Structure 1
Amino acid sequence: MRQRNRKFGLPGRWTAGGVCATVRADTTAATDEVDHMGMFLRWLCAFVLLALTYNPTPWNFTRWAAEHWNSHTSVTVLLGLLLAVAYIIYLRATLRSIGAFGMLLILAIVAALLWVLYDFGLLTLRKSNENIWLGVFALSLVLGIGLSWSHVRRRLSGQADMDDVDE
Structure 2
Amino acid sequence: MSIFDFVKSVGKKLGIGDDEPPAADQLKKELESHKLGTEKVDVDVQGDKVVLKGEVKDQSAFEKAVIAVGNTLGVSKVEASELKVASAPAKEPVFHTVKKGDNLWKIAEAQYGKGKGAKYTLIFEANKPMLTDPDKIYPGQVLRIPELSD
Task: Tell me whether the two structures share a fold, i.e. TM-score over 0.5.
Answer: no
Q: Which has the higher helix share?
A: 1
TM bracket (short chain): under 0.3
Compare CA radii of gyration and give the structure with the larger one: 1
Query: TM-score scaled by structure 1?
Result: 0.20
TM-score, normalised via structure 2 length: 0.21
